Amino acid sequence: MSQFRAAQPNGTYLPNPPGRNSAANADGAKHSWRRQLRSYKTVPMADPPKTFHFPHRHLLGIEGLSAKDIKLLLDLAEEAIAVSRQVEKKRATLRGRTLINLFFEASTRTQSSFELAGKRLGADVMNMSVASSSIKKGETLIDTAITLNAMRPDIIVVRHAQAGAVHLLAKKVDCAVVNAGDGSHEHPTQALLDALTIRRNKGRIEGLTVAICGDIRHSRVARSNILALSALGARVRVVGPSTLLPSGIERMGVEVFRDMRAGLKDADIVMMLRLQRERMQSAYIPSAKEYFCFFGLDEEKLKIAKPDALVMHPGPMNRGVEIDSAVADGPRSLVREQVEIGVAVRIAVLEALAQHLPNE
Amino acid sequence: MHHSATSAIAHRPLALINARLIDPAQAKETLGGVLAIDGVIRDVGASVTRANLPSHAEIIDCGGDCVSPGLIDMRAFIGEPGAEHRETIATATAAAAAGGVTTILARPDTNPPVDDPAVVDFLLRRARDTGRVKVLPAAALSAGLNGAEISEIGLLHLAGAIAFSVGARPIRNARVMRRVMEYVRDFDGLVIHFAEDPDLASEGVMNEGELASRLGLAGVPHEAEAIMLDRDIRLVNLTRARYHAALVTTSLSLEVIARAKEAGLPVTCATSINHLTLNENDIGDYRTFLKLTPPLRHENERRALVAALASGLIDVVVSDHNPQDVETKRLPFAEAEVGAIGLETMLSAGLRLVHSGDISLQRLIAAMTIRPAEILRLPQGRLEAEAPADLIRFDPDAAYVVDPLALHSRCKNTPFDEARMEGKVKLTMVAGEIVFEAT
Q: Does the pLDDT at position B127 exceed 70?
A: yes
**pTM to 2 decimals?**
0.90
| Structure confidence at residue B85 (pLDDT) | 96
Confidence of residue A135 (pLDDT cuts 50, 70, 90): low
The residues near A1 (Cβ < 8 Å, ≥ 6 apart) are: B211, B214, B215, B281, B284
Chain A touched by B204 (CB under 8 Å): no
Closest C-alpha among A20, A25, A82 to residue A198: A25
Q: Is there a contact between B211 and A160 if contact means CB atoms under 8 Å apart?
A: no
Percentage of chain A beyond pLDDT 90 is: 71
Residue A164 is nearest to which of B209, B215, B219, comparing CB atoms? Answer: B215
The residues near B129 (Cβ < 8 Å, ≥ 6 apart) are: B4
Q: Does the pLDDT at position A319 exceed 50?
A: yes
Residue B333 is nearest to which of A162, A186, A246, comparing CB atoms? Answer: A162
B377 backbone φψ class: left, alpha, beta (φ>0; ψ -120 to 50):
left
Closest C-alpha among B298, B169, B192, B305 to residue B248: B305
Q: Is there a contact between B215 and A160 if contact means CB atoms under 8 Å apart?
A: no
* B8-65 pLDDT, tens digit each: 455 789 999 999 999 999 878 999 999 999 999 999 999 999 998 988 999 999 999 9
Closest C-alpha among A301, A320, A322, A302 to residue A311: A302
Task: Count residue pairs from A and B with Cβ separation < 8 A.
Answer: 75
| Structure confidence at residue A30 (pLDDT) | 45
How would you write A209-248 as a 3-class SS string?
Answer: EEEEECCCCCCHHHHHHHHHHHHCCCEEEEECCHHHCCCC
The residues near B98 (Cβ < 8 Å, ≥ 6 apart) are: B344, B407, B408, B425, B428, B436
Region A332-344: mean pLDDT is: 96
Residue B216 is nearest to which of A185, A247, A248, comparing CB atoms? Answer: A185
Q: Does the pLDDT at position A269 exceed 60?
A: yes
Q: From CA A14, how far away is CA A203, in angstroms rounded?
A: 9
SS3 call for B183: helix
Q: Which residue has the higher pLDDT, A84 or A174?
A: A174
SS3 call for B148: coil
Q: Pick the residue of A247, A249, A279, A284 with the most B CBs within 10 A to test the interface with B by mutation.
A: A247
| Structure confidence at residue B26 (pLDDT) | 86
* B333-371 pLDDT, tens digit each: 999 999 999 999 999 999 999 999 999 999 999 999 999
Q: Which amino acid is at B260?
A: A
Using alpha carbons, list the distances in angstroms from residue A185 to A214, A224, B214, B398: 16, 8, 7, 42
* A254-266 pLDDT, tens digit each: 999 999 999 999 9
Q: Does the pLDDT at position B314 exceed 50?
A: yes
Residue A307: Cβ within 10 Å count: 7
Q: B-chain residues within 8 Å CB-CB of A142? A: 330-331
Please report the ipTM that was assigned to this predicted complex.
Answer: 0.88
Q: Is there a contact between B215 and A246 if contact means CB atoms under 8 Å apart?
A: no
* A15-63 pLDDT, tens digit each: 444 333 444 444 444 444 444 444 444 444 455 556 789 999 999 999 9
Q: From CA A228, how far away is CA B347, in angstroms rounded?
A: 45
- Alpha-carbon gap: A338 to the closest alpha carbon of chain B (Å): 24
Lowest-confidence pick of B54-58, B191-195, B404-408: B54-58
| Structure confidence at residue A50 (pLDDT) | 60
Q: From CA B384, how far away is CA B45, in angstroms rounded?
A: 9
